[in-house]
């Protein structure tokens, strides 16, 4: 009887120690990862753009990353999939300039808006940080021919916008 009781206690202690070590290692090694996201736009996470350098065009993939160690913050990563252009300006400088408008939660009404200058070349990822707060947040990314404050005209546009809901720790 004593041997069985000793074995059960030893097995229980080993299980608790293993769970403790795994839990601590899992918490320490938490890194930014793609956030749980629900896309509400027809084009999903891809932004089809027409840029400012000689009718440059292409696709930009978007990803929202969150980090459990930094609650209330999210990082958006823009990665051009491939850009094309027409004309002598594109031949001299094959980089597509695009100004992306990112709005979260209530957007321009509450100052939760950011504009990012992308000089898009294939495979170059550009990251920007936003502060939507913890919980469920709404996000919309688009390339507009007019600035959100209606004070600037831009020779650019996008085919639709990337709209989504995501969870921030």
Contacts of 130 (CB under 8 A, 6+ apart): 73, 74, 75, 76, 102, 104, 112, 114, 139
Q: In the chain, how many H helices and how many E strands?
A: 2, 11
Tokens of 155: 């020779």
Q: Distance of alpha carbon 5 from its chain centroid, rounded?
A: 53
Q: How far apart are CA 97 and CA 89, in angstroms?
A: 12
- Residue spans per domain, the chain: 1-29, 33-168
- The pTM assigned to this predicted structure is 0.76
Topology adopted by domain 33-168 = Immunoglobulin-like (2.60.40)
Q: pLDDT value at position 143?
A: 93
Tokens of 17: 């120690």
> Which carries the bigger pLDDT value, residue 137 or residue 110?
137
Per-residue model confidence as pLDDT tens digits over 19-37: 444 444 444 445 678 888 8
Q: pLDDT value at position 124?
A: 86
């Amino acid at each position: 009887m004593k041997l069985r009781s000793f074995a059960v206690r030893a097995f229980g202690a080993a299980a608790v120690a293993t769970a403790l070590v795994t839990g601590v290692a899992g918490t320490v090694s938490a890194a930014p990862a793609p956030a749980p996201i629900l896309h509400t736009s027809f084009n999903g996470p891809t932004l089809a753009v027409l840029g400012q350098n000689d009718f440059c065009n292409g696709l930009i993939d978007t990803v929202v990353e969150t980090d459990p160690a930094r609650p209330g913050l999210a990082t958006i990563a823009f990665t051009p999939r491939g850009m094309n252009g027409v004309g002598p300006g594109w031949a001299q400088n094959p980089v597509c300039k695009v100004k992306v408008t990112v709005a979260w939660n209530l957007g321009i009404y509450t100052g939760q808006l950011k504009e990012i200058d992308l000089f898009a070349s294939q495979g170059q990822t550009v990251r920007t940080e936003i502060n939507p707060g913890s919980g469920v947040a709404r996000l919309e990314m688009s390339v507009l021919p007019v600035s959100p404050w209606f004070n600037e005209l831009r020779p650019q546009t996008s085919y639709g916008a990337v709209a989504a809901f995501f969870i921030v720790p």
